[in-house]
Amino acid sequence: MQVVNTVQDLKKWVQSTTQSGRSIGLVPTMGFLHEGHMALVEAAKAENDVVAMSIFVNPAQFGPNEDFDRYPRDFERDSMLAEKAGVDIIFAPSVKEMYPHDSQITMSAGMLANVLCGKSRPGHFDGVLKVVTKLFHLVQPNAAYFGQKDAQQLAIIESLVRDFNFSLKIRRVETVREQDGLAKSSRNVYLSNAERREAPELYRSLQRGVKDAREGQDPIPEMIRLIESETSGTIDYIELLSYPDLQQEPKEQAILALAVQFQKARLIDNIIFNLKEN
């Protein structure tokens, strides 16, 4: 497995790989890898000749009071896990390497960013679009792999690729969970022992909400009751929307999503489902 830190070295690898006719699967990450990332790698390996992983904590998607400096980092551990999983190359640039100039051109996620996490994190998804656009151009992958846990991000990136005719496919990979249902996340390490015991209630509330929604009931009041009675977290949002266009009053394909703030960790989770199936 190679590790490159510069755009120039990455371009050399991409040129050599594409000239030899090999397909590239891209797994973009911010590091501190867990089983969810490994599922992305597994999916990429199954469909491509080589797998490129980016490890870059992107400052453009963090707000002024968010946890950029505190975001967990362990490159040595990440590189060992990536190599074991079969990654062929890691692109791990510095912030200066990734953003050498103050760009006067900005990107906007538009209406898709006005709900769910985007509502309370203005500019977050603009920063996501900035970094994935650069990665798509630099790596030139045949496909890029994203987890459904970050469902709003996934919908926005799918829209970007569709609307601007990027020549790659976006692959959705199902959320990987702990045995008790908690979605795998790099931020789970911030949970106290008591919060970790409470956190699976988020997924259980989502499961109850999907059942209620399919039966024609408003799922949100009962979900609020369950989370407030069973956890110490503060609800940021619970929303039922169409997917992937994220509009109110879904008719068929829907997403039930939530965000809950614990003392040092903000957890998100969702279920994407068909309202008409039982």
Spell 121-151 as b/e; 16+ CB within 10 A means b.
Answer: bebbbbbbbbbbbbbbebbbbbbbbbbbbbb
Q: Which domain holds residue 210?
A: 186-271
What percent of the chain has a predicted confidence (pLDDT) above 90?
A: 91
Whole-number pLDDT of residue 201: 98
| pLDDT of the residue at 101 | 92
Residue 159: per-residue pLDDT: 96
Which two three-digit tokens encode residue 69?
Answer: 């400096």
Residue 276 lies in a domain: no
187 annotated to bind ligand = yes
What's residue 120's pLDDT?
87
Q: Is 127 annotated as contributing to ligand binding? A: no
User: Do you know the residue count of the chain?
Assistant: 278
Are both 210 and 236 inside the same structural domain?
A: yes
Q: Are 149 and 247 within one domain? A: no
Residues 101 and 200 in one domain: no
Give the chain's domain count.
Answer: 2
Domain boundary among 146, 173, 200: 173
Residues 107 and 245 in one domain: no
Q: Is 36 flagged in the annotation as binding?
A: yes
In this structure, the answer to whether residues 164 and 76 fall within a common structural domain is yes
Structure tokens at 153: 């991000």
Examine residue 217 and state whether it is found in any structural domain, yes or no.
Answer: yes
For residues 118 and 202, state if they share a domain: no
Strand stretches in the chain, DSSP E:
2-4, 24-29, 50-55, 89-91, 143-147, 169-173, 234-242, 253-261, 266-274
Mean pLDDT of the chain: 96
* Residue 178 included in any domain: no
User: Mind telling me the catalytic residues?
Assistant: 37
119 appears as a binding residue in the annotation = no
Question: Tokens standing for 60?
Answer: 């453009």
Say what the pLDDT of residue 116 is: 95
Q: Which pLDDT tens digit goes with each residue over 134-190?
A: 999 999 999 999 999 999 999 999 999 999 999 999 999 999 999 999 999 988 999
Check which CATH number belongs to the domain holding 245 and give it. 3.30.1300.10
For 223-238, what is each residue's pLDDT tens digit?
A: 999 999 999 999 999 9
Confidence of residue 46 (pLDDT cuts 50, 70, 90): very high
Contacts of 31 (CB under 8 A, 6+ apart): 55, 56, 57, 72, 73, 74, 75, 78, 186
What is the pLDDT, as a whole number, of residue 33?
94
d(C-alpha 237, C-alpha 188), whole Å: 19
Is 228 inside a domain boundary? yes
Identify whether 181 is part of a domain: no
Task: Give the 3-state DSSP-derived string for 59-84, with helices as H, strands as E and coil as C.
Answer: HHHCCCCCCCCCCCCCHHHHHHHHHH
Residue 84: which CATH number? 3.40.50.620
Same structural domain, 132 and 16: yes
Whether 70 has a binding-site annotation, put simply, is no
Residue 82 in domain: yes
Q: What is the mean pLDDT of residues 105-117?
A: 93
- pLDDT for 56 equals 98
Looking at the domain assignment, is residue 214 inside a domain?
Answer: yes
For residues 116 and 37, state if they share a domain: yes
pLDDT for 63 beyond 90: no
54 is in an annotated binding site: no
Which pLDDT does position 65 carry in this prediction?
A: 77
Q: 35: annotated binding-site residue?
A: yes
| 130 marked as binding residue | no
pLDDT reported for residue 186: 86
The mean per-residue pLDDT over the stretch 65-74 comes to 86
Q: Say which amino acid occupies 140.
A: Q
- Judge whether 36 lies within some domain: yes
The contacts of residue 20 (CB under 8 Å, 6+ apart) are none
Check pLDDT > 80 for residue 278.
no
Mark whether 195 and 169 lie in a shared domain: no
